[in-house]
Structures are given as structure tokens and as C-alpha cells.
């Protein structure tokens, strides 16, 4: 089995960890073979296999392979190809119901269904076939024992029982050999480069993840734990901005470096994230641990000691933010056992658990004594009694008689109380203490404050923005610019990223106020970018406007491209796409997944579908490979749907929504494995080189809407959302209306252009760091913007982001002299060595020659202070 670290480096950066993938074979071992192999022949075979998968070797990697002996090269190539196949999904056996798909799929689904029903209900053993009347052609198939006629059902085409649609024993005589599907070599524009990984590849990859300004996805957190497996403390940067990332680091390095708790745990929520990570649960706190594990005594004392040193009000605020989780975790921490040693921590737990305290008990007496020092802590009104001791304040807590409970008015309750009492000025004064919270509530404050207080809000924002994460600033900027009147989207926290929509009936922000707030936010981003090292020239792609700015990836699916929800890719309208779905069920459980496509017109009126109930839509416009109702090991099950976009457009379809349903209501996280994706112009049944996107089926979801295709704008937009599901028999016909509402809301919100895009972020970098910016326009032309010496950064940035009249016409050779490049694809570009490059499709760019960065790395440098510990929840 190939090393996990090698898999991470190959998947994330296209770097080949040759040391881990090369087996320890002595040269003398292969010399005794009767027919010794040659390295050159093996190298040629490896190159051919890589090209079929859409990859080429870089020159250093080729030289490394040419220096291996044949047996070492064989082991190296086997593990490398296995990793690539597992990533694309080619490692699974993709055998659809109709092995001759798409040609052999029946044209009439109803007739196919009726024949199945007749044969299943009326066929008797030792009787002629009820469909064709032939004698002696009906035999039972294994293991379902259904009676199947060899004449009516084609055993060379079907891969499952035609009556129950479940897998057949591979040795059953019903199954006959069929043609082999041999994919053709990949097109040149699909080839990607594999580079020889440098010695510090693991450290630099981990450093990029540690510097992220947005929460990591599940896959990213898992990868980070693998990268840090052999790390030491010197790998850690001065600051790790995202708290969930800190929890992963601390859980991984805690045995070797317990002192990191003081550096990386700043709040109670940090401690909770750490405890969740130690229990192998989600440090994002979206789901509770499946089973709470017993914690070692040393860890319990360490956590309680850290909680005890925190300010009480902030500690209780944090505990109440995740009250239910802390009540459960308290059963593992046993805080009252150490109440005398850690009285502040014990007091906080007594407050959130509403513990009845007995002043005669030593532990409770220590808690009450600690409570007496805090003026915000009071008794519940129903249990108010006179204070014990001299000098007690009215209503404050001193040493009390037995049977009292403590309550505290928290910061969050005071802010909410101010809004509820229609006192937004008081709320603003409170929120000044917490800049991040002020920016998150910016739109709420802007609508609540009277017109004469708008200047005060702008001033408060100008003071707060210097201490706020860039991800929070970009989110606030998108909210300020978005006009109400359409649909609002809500992505609640939880195990799956479910989505709710409602009509946005709020009052619009006054235009001058919206402009002023936007100006403050943009000016802050430009100020931060100006402090970065200057650039000689920037080369930008106008198509970056289709990609949404990086945001929280907590609930994001594991994908190849790692696009932010709402991003879009251009697609040729005359293209042909093939969707695929593969899954394998756990032993003893049947899982029936369905790959379906819903078709809508321009007004989101449902006009048709392609699924197990309709295998062909308008003949060849959409073609389904057939429904498989179980996926036992080792083969699993695979379903395909071919999309002819031109044909769908011809019949009035505009929107195509692929959906994965769990028909029998089994959540995806119970699968042994499951993934889906889309191929573009495949040359075979499953062509790994043609895989445009692949995403894992994970979490407790049962319905996944991964993306939508708009045939009018020629875009594929990434949705990655789940529908609420209950009951049995999930299908398009049941959820067509919900699908339309959700997709329409996604298109309206993200297609309007109000949200911050990667184009804007790239323009902020370019305008603040260089005077020459080259732009590749959507039509392929290349123009240039040159900053005038009298032009300030804000004006120059505005000219770029709004695509004003350029200063001159340029050519693509300008990229050769650019040290910052941000494009969808580097087609026809030759970036100089050492250039920083963001490319959604990096193609043949060499990660060892250029600094290839992911989208979140564009936001990472725009931080208030890399040495500061920012509040990023």
C-alpha cells in the first residue's frame, strides 16, 4: 500500500514522493531473472499508462525513473498508478446495468419495466417463458434465484439480474463475455504534469494549510494530520489563524509537545475543539462525537487548568455558545472534582449546568467564593436570599445558604437585548469591544441605526476592520452590496450542508451608507495588500469573475478542483458530458443509490427527467445506463448518464440539475465507499483523463445536488448542497419543486455578481503591488492597465475590478514577465520560473518551478498581523 503522505502530496500538489513510492529492491535481485526486464521498456510502458490517465512526467521525474532498476521501477509505477486511479475513481470496477451503454439502453423504459414485472410475477420453473414462449430457456440466476429467460434478456449486455436489478454471481452462466472497453489516449489539452517532490514538500504543504484564513474541509484536516505525522514544533508558524486548524495541530502534536496547549488554546471553544479532535470528532463542532471516549487524567487537568486561567465572562460566553456540547463533555472532565484547585473553571460549569450549590460542601464553597468576586453573577430571582457576610451588594452573590443557583448576563445576551429593545446604539457600543462580531453584524446594524448615526457606524467599522479576518471582510462586503428583493440563502451548521431559502423582504440599505461601508472594507483589503512585497507585473484572467471568493469549507465535499460554493466554470454548449456514480455497500446492508437528472426551462418550469423511471429523455438527449438496486462487494455498483447539451437546448431545456438520491433512505456515511462526478468527452466507458470533477459521498446526507448546468450562460455552477430527506423512495418526481427553488436561489445569489469573486481579490493584489496589470479578456484578447503616477491605489483598483477602458492592447507574451498570475487555465502562457500562479486547471505547470497556490492562499496574506491571534470561529 502506498504511503499516505505520498498520496496527499500527489493529490494536492501533483508532487511525486519518489522515496516513499520506490520499493527497496537491490539491483542484484533482478539480474537472476530468466528474461530480465529493461528499465527503458518499463519506462515506456509507465509513460503510456500515465498518458491514458491524463498525466505527463516532468524532466526531473523522468530522470529519476530512468535511474531505477526494473523491479524498483515496477513497484514505483504500480503504486503511482494506484494512487492516481484512486483519486479519479478508476480504481473501482465501473460496470453499469447495460454493459453496452449508451447504445444498448432500451428506448422504451415502460416496456422494459412491464416485461420485468410479468417475468417476476408470472414465470414458473419448468414452464415456457411468459414473454417469448420458448421452452428450456428459463433458468434461475444466482444468488437471487429469479427465473430469467436467456432469449429475452441479453446476458452479454446485462450485468445484473434483469428482474431485481441486483448483482449476479460473476460465474453465473447467464453472464456472457462482452467487448472490452479500451480508452483512447488523453487529448493534449487534458494532460497534467507530475513533478518530482522536493525534500521539504510535506513541510511547505502543511505550512500552506496552517496559513489558511478559512476553516478547512474534512479532507484538508485529514491531510494536515497526515502531513504533521512526522513534524516537529519548528514547522508551526508564529500564528495559526483558524481555530479548527489549531485543534487538529494540537491533537496531533500534543503527546510530544504538551506545552502547546498554552499557545494554541485561547478560548473555551478552542478547548472544546481540541477535545473533539482527540475524540476523532469534528473540530468544527457541527456534529457531536459518535461515542465519547474516556480522557486521560493528565489531559483533563491540562484542559481545566487552561480554562481556569481565562477571564470568567469570556469563558462563560464561550461555554454558553456550545452549551449542550459542554454539558456532555463535563461528564468526561469532572470539573467539580478539582473545584478547589480550579475554582474559575468549576464556577463556569456550575453556571451553564445550573448546578444547585451547597455552601457546606468544600468544593461548592470554593465556587461560591469565586462567584462573589464577579458583579455580573447573580442568583436566580426565584431563589434570591439575603447575602451572607458583611458588605454584600444588593442582588450580588456572597457566601449563600445551601440550595442556590447562579446566573450571569452574558455579552451575547446583552447585545441581543439591545436589539430587542430597539437600542441599536447600545448594541454598537457593545460590539466595538469585539471587532469580528461587529463586522459580522454590520448589515443588521446598518438597518437598525437611524440615519444620523450612519457616520458613527462608518467610523466604528473603520476602527474595527484592522483586526478582522479577510474572510469575514469579504463576506461582509458581499452582504453590503447585495440588494434585497430576491431570495435569501441559509446554510445552517450541521453534519450536512443543508440549505433553506426565503424571500428577502428587508429594506434596502441607503445607497450612500452602502457605498461608504463598501469603501471602508475595500480600502482595508488594499491597505493590507500594499504591505506585501511589490510585484513586477501581474497577469489576470477576466474569467476569474466566475469563481467565488474562498469561504468556509467546513461542510464542503471532497473534490478535485476544490471550488467554493457558487463558483462557475465555462463549458462549450455543444459539449457532451457523462455523469457517473459509484458506490459499495457495507456487508449485511443494502444501499440503493440513484443518479438522476432534472431538466427545467428558462422560468424553472419542470420539463423532464432522466432516471430509473425514464432511461432515455428525447431519444439521445439524456441516456441513463440502467438502475442498480444494490452494490455488494467486491464490484459495487455504477450508474452513468450521458448529457447531449445541444439536444437538450433544442427541446427548450436550459437548466440541468444532476442529483444523487439514496432511494432507500440510507445516509451516505454508511457506505463502504461512494463517489460521483462528471466527465467531458470521455473516450471510453470510464475515462480517468476526462474526469472534470469528482466528489465523495459523505456525511449523514441522503440527497445531494452537486452542481447545475446553465445552457444559456454556458456555465457549470458548483452548488454542493443537500436537501432535507425523510421517509423512503426519494426521486426527482418527489423533489422537483424543491430542486428548482434551491437552484434558482443559488443562481440568483451567485449569478448576480454582488458577491466577492476571485477576480476582485486578484485585482486587489495587482492594484496595490504593481503598476502594470495585464488582463486576458473573456473573448481571448489581452489588454493592459498602467497606473498613472498621480492615480491612487483605490482608483486604480476600481478601474481594474470594473473592467474600465484599458490603457493599451497587449499579447500573451506579457505573462513571461509577470511574477503574479491568476487564471482559470494557463493555456498559451509561459510563466517565468519562480512566479506565483493560481490556476484552477494547472495543466502542465511544474509545481517545482512555479509557486502554484490554491484559491485560499490569495486571501491568506491579507491578514491584519501574522503574529496576532485572530478570532476566527
Of 109-113, 452-456, 556-560, the least confident: 556-560
Which residues sit opposite 599 in a β-bridge?
608, 656
Give the pLDDT confidence score for residue 259 in this predicted structure.
85
**Average pLDDT over all residues of the chain:** 86
Q: What pLDDT is recorded for position 343? A: 87
Q: Which residues contact 606 (CB under 8 A, 6 or more apart)?
A: 598, 599, 600, 736, 737, 740
pLDDT greater than 60 at residue 1:
no
Determine phi and psi for 777, rounding to 5 degrees.
-80, 170
Query: pTM of the entire structure?
Result: 0.86
Output b/e per residue, 838-850; b: 16+ Cβ within 10 A: bbbbbbebbbbbb
Report percent pLDDT > 90 for the chain: 50
With H, G, I as helix, E, B as strand and everything else as coil, classify residue 224: helix
pLDDT at 699: 80
Output the CA–CA distances (angstroms, integers) from residue 104 to 285, 549, 575, in the order listed: 48, 44, 22
Looking at per-residue pLDDT, the higher value among 512 and 483 belongs to 512
Q: 709-732 pLDDT, tens per residue?
A: 999 998 999 988 888 777 888 999
pLDDT at residue 873, rounded to an integer: 36
The answer to whether residue 398 scores a pLDDT higher than 60 is no
- Residue 197 carries which DSSP code? P
The band of 385, judged by pLDDT with boundaries at 50, 70 and 90, is very low
- Distances in Å between the Cα of 753 and the Cα atoms of 146, 563, 705, 757 are 56, 17, 22, 8
Residue/partner pairs of 75-78 with CB below 8 Å, 24 or more apart: 75/21, 75/22, 75/23, 75/25, 76/18, 76/21, 76/22, 76/23, 77/42, 77/45, 77/46, 77/49
Longest dimension (CA), the chain: 105
Please check the confidence at residue 363 and state whether its pLDDT lies above 70.
Answer: yes
pLDDT at 396: 44
Would you kindly state where each structural domain of the chain is located, as residue ranges? 4-94+185-195, 312-408, 568-748
DSSP 336: G
Cell of 296: 486521560
Decide which of 444 and 497 is more confident. 444
pLDDT, tens only, 755-811:
899 999 999 999 999 999 999 998 889 999 999 999 999 999 999 999 998 888 887
Distance CA 110, CA 118 (A): 12
- Report helix, strand or coil for 150: coil
pLDDT digits (tens, 9 = 90+) for 164-208: 999 999 889 998 886 566 666 666 667 899 999 999 999 999 998
Categorize the per-residue pLDDT at 414 as very low, low, confident or very high, splitting at 50, 70 and 90: confident
Buried b or exposed e, range 492-517, using 16+ CB within 10 angstroms: eeebbbbbebeebeeeebeeebbebb
Render pLDDT for 640-681 as a digit per residue (tens, 0 to 9): 999 999 999 999 999 999 999 999 999 998 999 999 999 988
Segment 153-171 mean pLDDT: 92
pLDDT of residue 186: 65
What mean pLDDT comes out for the span 703-709? 92
Q: Give the pLDDT mean for 338-362.
A: 82
Alpha carbon 856 to its chain centroid, in Å, reads 12
Would you say 738 and 500 are in contact if contact means Cβ atoms under 8 Å apart?
Answer: no
374: confidence class by pLDDT, cuts 50, 70, 90? confident
More confident residue, 739 or 239: 739
Highest mean pLDDT among 252-266, 480-494, 664-678: 664-678
Q: Are 553 and 282 in contact (CB under 8 A)?
A: no
Does residue 446 contact residue 509 with C-beta atoms inside 8 Å?
yes
Residue 297 pLDDT > 90, yes or no?
A: no
227 confidence band (pLDDT: 50, 70, 90)? very high
The predicted-structure confidence for 84-130, as pLDDT tens digits, reads as follows: 999 999 999 899 999 999 999 999 999 999 999 999 999 898 899 99
- With 0-12 CB in 10 A as exposed, 13-18 as middle and 19+ as buried, what is 233? exposed
pLDDT of the residue at 384: 42
Write down the pLDDT at residue 863.
Answer: 82
pLDDT band at 41 (very low <50, low <70, confident <90, very high): confident
Whether pLDDT at 290 is above 70: no
Hey, what CATH topology would domain 568-748 get? Lipoxygenase-1 (2.60.60)
What's the pLDDT score for residue 37? 58
Q: What is the pLDDT of residue 393?
A: 41
Amino acid at each position: 500500500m502506498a504511503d499516505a503522505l505520498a498520496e496527499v502530496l500527489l493529490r494536492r500538489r501533483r508532487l511525486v514522493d519518489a522515496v516513499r513510492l520506490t520499493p527497496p529492491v537491490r539491483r542484484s535481485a533482478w539480474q537472476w531473472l530468466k528474461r530480465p526486464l529493461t528499465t527503458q521498456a518499463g519506462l515506456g510502458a509507465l509513460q503510456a499508462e500515465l498518458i491514458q490517465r491524463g498525466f505527463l512526467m516532468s524532466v526531473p521525474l523522468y530522470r529519476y525513473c530512468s535511474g531505477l532498476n526494473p523491479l524498483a521501477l515496477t513497484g514505483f509505477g504500480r503504486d503511482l498508478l494506484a494512487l492516481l486511479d484512486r483519486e479519479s475513481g478508476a480504481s473501482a470496477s465501473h460496470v453499469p446495468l447495460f454493459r453496452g451503454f449508451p447504445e444498448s439502453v432500451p428506448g422504451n423504459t415502460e416496456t422494459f419495466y412491464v416485461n420485468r414485472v410479468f417475468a417476476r410475477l408470472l414465470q414458473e420453473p419448468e414452464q415456457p417463458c411468459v414473454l417469448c414462449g420458448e421452452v428450456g430457456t428459463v433458468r434461475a440466476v444466482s444468488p437471487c434465484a429469479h427465473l430469467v429467460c436467456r432469449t429475452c434478456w441479453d446476458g452479454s449486455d446485462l450485468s445484473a439480474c434483469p428482474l431485481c436489478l441486483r448483482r449476479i454471481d460473476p460465474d453465473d452462466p447467464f453472464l456472457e463475455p462482452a467487448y472490452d472497453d479500451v480508452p483512447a489516449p488523453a487529448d493534449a489539452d487534458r494532460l497534467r504534469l507530475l513533478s518530482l517532490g522536493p525534500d521539504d514538500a510535506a513541510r511547505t504543504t502543511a505550512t500552506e494549510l496552517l496559513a489558511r484564513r478559512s476553516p478547512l474541509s474534512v479532507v484538508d484536516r485529514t491531510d494536515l494530520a497526515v502531513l504533521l505525522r512526522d513534524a516537529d514544533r519548528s514547522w508551526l508558524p508564529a500564528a495559526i489563524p483558524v481555530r479548527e486548524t489549531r485543534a487538529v495541530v494540537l491533537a496531533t502534536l500534543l503527546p510530544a509537545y504538551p506545552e502547546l496547549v498554552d499557545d494554541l488554546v485561547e478560548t473555551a471553544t478552542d478547548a472544546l475543539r481540541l477535545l473533539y479532535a482527540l475524540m476523532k470528532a469534528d473540530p468544527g463542532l457541527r456534529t457531536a462525537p459518535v461515542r465519547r471516549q474516556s480522557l486521560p487524567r493528565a489531559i483533563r487537568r491540562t484542559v481545566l487548568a487552561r480554562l481556569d486561567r481565562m477571564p470568567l465572562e469570556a469563558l462563560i460566553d464561550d461555554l454558553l455558545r456550545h452549551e449542550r456540547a459542554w454539558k456532555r463533555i463535563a461528564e468526561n472532565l469532572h470539573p467539580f472534582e478539582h473545584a478547589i484547585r480550579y475554582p474559575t473553571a468549576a464556577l463556569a460549569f456550575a453556571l451553564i449546568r445550573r448546578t444547585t450549590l451547597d455552601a457546606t460542601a468544600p468544593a461548592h464553597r470554593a465556587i461560591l467564593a469565586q462567584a462573589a468576586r464577579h458583579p455580573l453573577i447573580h442568583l436566580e430571582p426565584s431563589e434570591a436570599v439575603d447575602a451572607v457576610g458583611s458588605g454584600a451588594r444588593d442582588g450580588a452573590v456572597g457566601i449563600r445558604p445551601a440550595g442556590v443557583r447562579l446566573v450571569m448576563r452574558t455579552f451575547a445576551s446583552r447585545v441581543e437585548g439591545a436589539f430587542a429593545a430597539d437600542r441599536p446604539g447600545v448594541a454598537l457600543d457593545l460590539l466595538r469591544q469585539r471587532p469580528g462580531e461587529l463586522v459580522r453584524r454590520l448589515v443588521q446594524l446598518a438597518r437598525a441605526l437611524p440615519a444620523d448615526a450612519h457616520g458613527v457606524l462608518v467610523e466604528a467599522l473603520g476602527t474595527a476592520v484592522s483586526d478582522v479576518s479577510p474572510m469575514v471582510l469579504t463576506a461582509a462586503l458581499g452582504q453590503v452590496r447585495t440588494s434585497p428583493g430576491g431570495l435569501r440563502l441559509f446554510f445552517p451548521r450541521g453534519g450536512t450542508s443543508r440549505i433553506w431559502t426565503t424571500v428577502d423582504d428587508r429594506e434596502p440599505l441607503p445607497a450612500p451608507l452602502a457605498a461608504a461601508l463598501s469603501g471602508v472594507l475595500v480600502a482595508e483589503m488594499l491597505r493590507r495588500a500594499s504591505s506585501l512585497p511589490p510585484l513586477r507585473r501581474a497577469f489576470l484572467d477576466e474569467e476569474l469573475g466566475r469563481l467565488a471568493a474562498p469561504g468556509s469549507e467546513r461542510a464542503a465535499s471532497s473534490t478535485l478542483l476544490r471550488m467554493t460554493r457558487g463558483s462557475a466554470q465555462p463549458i462549450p454548449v455543444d459539449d457532451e458530458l457523462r455523469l457517473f456514480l459509484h458506490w459499495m455497500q457495507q456487508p449485511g446492508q443494502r444501499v440503493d443509490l440513484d443518479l438522476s437528472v432534472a431538466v427545467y426551462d428558462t422560468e424553472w418550469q419542470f420539463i423532464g427527467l432522466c432516471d430509473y423511471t425514464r432511461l432515455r429523455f428525447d431519444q439521445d438527449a439524456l441516456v441513463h445506463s440502467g438502475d442498480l438496486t444494490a452494490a455488494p462487494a467486491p464490484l459495487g455498483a455504477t450508474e452513468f448518464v450521458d448529457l447531449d447539451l445541444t439536444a437538450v437546448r433544442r427541446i427548450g431545456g436550459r437548466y440541468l440539475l444532476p442529483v444523487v438520491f439514496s432511494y432507500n433512505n440510507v445516509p451516505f456515511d454508511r457506505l463502504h465507499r461512494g463517489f460521483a462526478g462528471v466527465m467531458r468527452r470521455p473516450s471510453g466507458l470510464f475515462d480517468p483523463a476526462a474526469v472534470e470533477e469528482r466528489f465523495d459521498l459523505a456525511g449523514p446526507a441522503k440527497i445531494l445536488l452537486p452542481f447545475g448546468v446553465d445552457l444559456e450562460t454556458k456555465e457549470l455552477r458548483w452548488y454542493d448542497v443537500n436537501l432535507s430527506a425523510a421517509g423512503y423512495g426519494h426521486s426527482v418526481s418527489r423533489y422537483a419543486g424543491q430542486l428548482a427553488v434551491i437552484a434558482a436561489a443559488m443562481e440568483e445569489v451567485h449569478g448576480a455578481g454582488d458577491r466577492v469573486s476571485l477576480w476582485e481579490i486578484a485585482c486587489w493584489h495587482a492594484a496595490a503591488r504593481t503598476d502594470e496589470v495585464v488582463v486576458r479578456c473573456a473573448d481571448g484578447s489581452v489588454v493592459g492597465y498602467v497606473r498613472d503616477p498621480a492615480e491612487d491605489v483605490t482608483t486604480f483598483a476600481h478601474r481594474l475590478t470594473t473592467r474600465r477602458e484599458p490603457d493599451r492592447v497587449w499579447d500573451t507574451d506579457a505573462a513571461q514577465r509577470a511574477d503574479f498570475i491568476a487564471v482559470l487555465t494557463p493555456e498559451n502562457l509561459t510563466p517565468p520560473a519562480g512566479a506565483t500562479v493560481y490556476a484552477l486547471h494547472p495543466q502542465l505547470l511544474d509545481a517545482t518551478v512555479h509557486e502554484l497556490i490554491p484559491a485560499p492562499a490569495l486571501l491568506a496574506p491579507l491578514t491584519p498581523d501574522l503574529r496576532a491571534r485572530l478570532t476566527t470561529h
